Amino acid sequence: MKGVSFTMKVILITGASSGIGYKAAIQLAKEGYKVYGGARRVERMQALTDFGITPLELDLTKPQSLKFAVDRIIEEEGHIDILVNNAGYGSYGAIENVDIEEAKRQFDVNIFGLARLVQLVLPHMRNQHSGRIINISSMAGRMTTFMGAWYHATKYALEAFSDALRMEIKPFGIDVVIVEPGGIKTDWGLIAADHLEESSQNSPYEEMGHATAKKLRREYTTGPLSKPDLIANTITKAVMSKRPRTRYLVGFGAKPVVFLHTVLPDRWFDAFVKKFV
């Protein structure tokens, strides 16, 4: 992408109300970019205005919300240079237990809403023959944990989507980058644990579900997970690099766990995941 280090390039980052998105928005603003932070709960982004960041109400499940956000940026800035697709959530539960509507909602947030946002920004990036789309995936798009089928399915889909997108839009001068975090100390694991316990109630998977939820809560409260700043730093690097890598696999456990998934027989890896991940 031409001139990514110049100031006042315009960035839209989703999921900016907390965690990785919140930290990344601040870092990018400090680097001199004009940052728009999108999230459903605008009131949680008010502190970002102290850094010159513009909060936008953005709900990935509502197409009109996405169109309004992109239209406003174009109206106010005239261009959009970088899209950071960071918003997403994890809903755990046994496949038999998770209602299909909940599975669809996870796809709506983690893949279809993201895809719609990509469709909205691409015409503007093509017209300027430059741009960068950074999709925050997960090591969950490269391996699978116990009782996380639907969440992993969305991240595997995002990996394939990003690879195809990268090939399609390269001729227009637009880069696609995938960031694949490992274990990061955010509320993600606690939310996943809540969904897991709720979906496991009064089912054959109840004992397994409660045990896995307990492990998730322990890992995300006392475990040696990476801080969100690490992923924010990686996003900033991907934004500012003249030639970014196509993938950044970073954070606690990411590289060793993905490596083990690559080299171990399936049943060995299954046993490893159920005991340690």
Active site positions, annotated: 151
Tokens standing for residue 250: 């970073």
How many Cβ atoms from other residues are within 10 Å of residue 32's Cβ? 14
* Angle at the Cα of 54 from the Cα atoms of 123 and 242, rounded to 5 degrees: 55
Q: How far apart are CA 128 and CA 132, in angstroms?
A: 12
Q: Write the CB contacts of 15 (distance below 8 Å, at least 6 apart in sequence).
A: 21, 38, 39, 86, 87, 88, 136
Neighbours of 243 (CB within 10 A): 7
Q: How many CA atoms lie within 13 A of 238 on its CB side?
A: 30
Q: How far apart are CA 240 and CA 64, in angstroms?
A: 30
Instruction: Return the bridge partners of 248, or none.
Output: 179
Q: What contacts 120, CB < 8 A, 6 or more positions away?
A: 66, 67, 70
Cβ count near 121 (within 10 Å): 23
User: Which runs of E-coded beta strand occur in the chain?
Assistant: 10-14, 34-39, 54-57, 82-85, 131-136, 174-181, 247-250
3-state percent breakdown (helix, strand, coil) of the chain, nearest 5: 55, 15, 30
